[in-house]
Each structure stands twice: as structure tokens, then as C-alpha cells.
Amino acid sequence: MKVGFIVIGVLVGLSLLGMLWLVLKRPLTLWDWTTRRALLKAGMQKLTIPSEWGPQTVFVGGQGKPLVLLHGAGDHAGTWFRAVSSLLASHRVILLDLLGHGDSAPHTGPLPTADIFGALETVIASQTSDQPCIIGGNSLGAWMAMVYAYRHPDKVERVVAINGGPLLGQPNPEIKLTPTTREEARITMRHLRDAASPRIPDHVLDDTVRRASRGPLARFSATAATMFPWLLTEDQLREMRVPVKLVWGVSDQLMPLSYARRMLQALPNAVLFPVEACGHVPQQEAPKPFAEALSQALKA
């Protein structure tokens, strides 16, 4: 009996040490697991969709009109974990891991924009049964959502673009999306978040640097030369037949409010919903005001 208690104690101790190691050395891995687990706890089902690029992962749940949400570069479907519960009662929510992100293949190699878009088309076709959907996204996801609506206007009821779009932007030299040092990561996060938001701990910044060197954002950034044919011009935006709602964290210095206003001026049927005191990823930084703005965008 005493030996059994000793063994149990050792196993518990090892588990605690493993958890502490994750918290200190791999906090982003722990965050990924926590947010994706939250989607399942909210009642969503994880599906695997075959594609020519390999299996693609999607989380699906709820009833009603299809609502497709796309994350930004380097992120995954778990980014929506705080917003999803309020959406499931009124929509069939479809959360993608974009090509090469999360659990979607491929897990190595470059991620050209054409392949990301092609896998997106495959997954949407498998989940919507040609029923027009609402499609929204953050950052890269907003860009892909707007290109999808431009190319497939009959398949989209409206777009919700969150701090992202298809126009060529003006790079901010202080923002290093693939930082190589803790200080570069700190400066970048300062530009991506509101000044009053909690400071990101050093060990999280260190994990950001570690992941930046070989994660999906780096694999996508390596294909920069392939991106330009997938951008849209102001003249093309004027041709958009699909209504666009812009939900925007106003503190974002990567895709600033001036970028949103450029789209607002060009789009024939657009409305801007600013979200105060947050930056580039409002669904994580300011979940409550973001949820209110998203609700308005979906009802407008």
C-alpha cells in the first residue's frame, strides 16, 4: 500500500513538473491546447476534410445560417474560443485551421497564398452545401474572406473583415512578424496591442521568437512573392457585390484605422464598427467589446 502511494506521488510530481515546463518554456503550446479544447467543450465537433494538399481540420457546431470564420497567419481556429458560445445558437459556425496551420496539412514546407485559398474553397464547399454563407476573418483571414467573396459573390451573403483586407498596405518597419530576439518581439507586440493591455511576460515573448523561426507564419512569409496576384485594388473593391462589415481594433498599428477607412471609401456597401482599446486581434485582446461589435456586424 505504501509503495502504491509513493508511485502515485511520483507520477503526480512528474505531471506537475511537466506542466510547469510547459508554462515556462512552451506557453504558446499550452495556449493552443487550451483554446482548442475550449471549442470542443462549447459543443463543436472537430472534422477532417480531405484535400489535394492533405487533410484539413475544421471545427463545426450550432444551427442556422453558415458562418465561416478564418484566423490570421500563424494562428488557428482556437483564436475564436471566447466568441463561439454566443454564435452557436444562431449560426452553424465553421472554424477553419487554414492550410498549414493548427492541425491542417501540410506540416512542413512553404505555404503559398494560392494553396491557402484553394484549401479554403475545398473546406467551404464541403461544409455549406452551396448555401450562401457569412464569411469573416481576422488579418490574413479577412484578406482571404474578401477575395473569396470577390471571386464567389453568389456563395457569400456578407463579409466581416476584422483588422485585415486585400489592399496593399504600408509596412511598419518597427513591426517584425517573425522576430529573432525578445526585444523585437516586445516592440512588435507593443504595436499590435493597445498600450493599456497587460504586458506580455518575457517567457511568452521567448516562445514567440522560438515559434517564429519555423512556424506557419514563417512558412507563409517565405512565399511573399506569390502574394501580389491575390491582392485587390480600390477599383476591384468598388466592384464588390457583397456587403462588407469592418470590425476594427483601433489601436492596431499593423493594419491601422486608416487602412480600414481606405476600404470603407472604396467599397460600395460597407459599415465600420470600431472596437476601442484593442489592437490587431480583438477577439483575444478585448473579447467582450469585440463580441458586441461582431453581433452588430452580423445583424446590420
HEC per residue, 61-102: ECCCEEEEEECCCCCCHHHHCCCCCCCCCCEEEEEECCCCCC
Q: How many other CB atoms are there within 10 angstroms of residue 20's CB atom?
A: 10
Amino acid in the structure at residue 288: K
> Using a CB cutoff of 8 Å and minimum separation of 24, what contacts does 199-202 make?
201/27
Record: fold of 27-299? Rossmann fold (3.40.50)
- Radius of gyration of the chain from its Cα atoms, rounded to whole angstroms: 20
Task: Decide: 252 and 190 in contact? Cβ < 8 Å.
Answer: no
Give residue-wise pLDDT tens across range 224-247: 999 999 999 999 999 999 999 999
Cα–Cα distance measured from residue 28 to residue 208, given in angstroms and rounded to the nearest whole number: 8
Task: Give residue limits of the domains in the chain.
Answer: 27-299
DSSP alpha helices (H): ranges in 113-272?
113-128, 140-151, 182-192, 202-212, 216-221, 234-238, 257-266
Tens digits of pLDDT across the chain (300 residues): 565 545 454 444 434 445 444 666 789 999 999 999 999 999 999 999 999 999 999 999 999 999 999 999 999 999 999 999 999 999 999 999 999 999 999 999 999 999 999 999 999 999 998 789 999 999 999 999 999 999 999 999 999 999 999 999 988 999 999 999 999 999 999 999 999 999 999 999 999 999 998 999 999 999 999 999 999 999 999 999 999 999 999 999 999 999 999 999 999 999 999 999 999 999 999 999 999 999 999 987
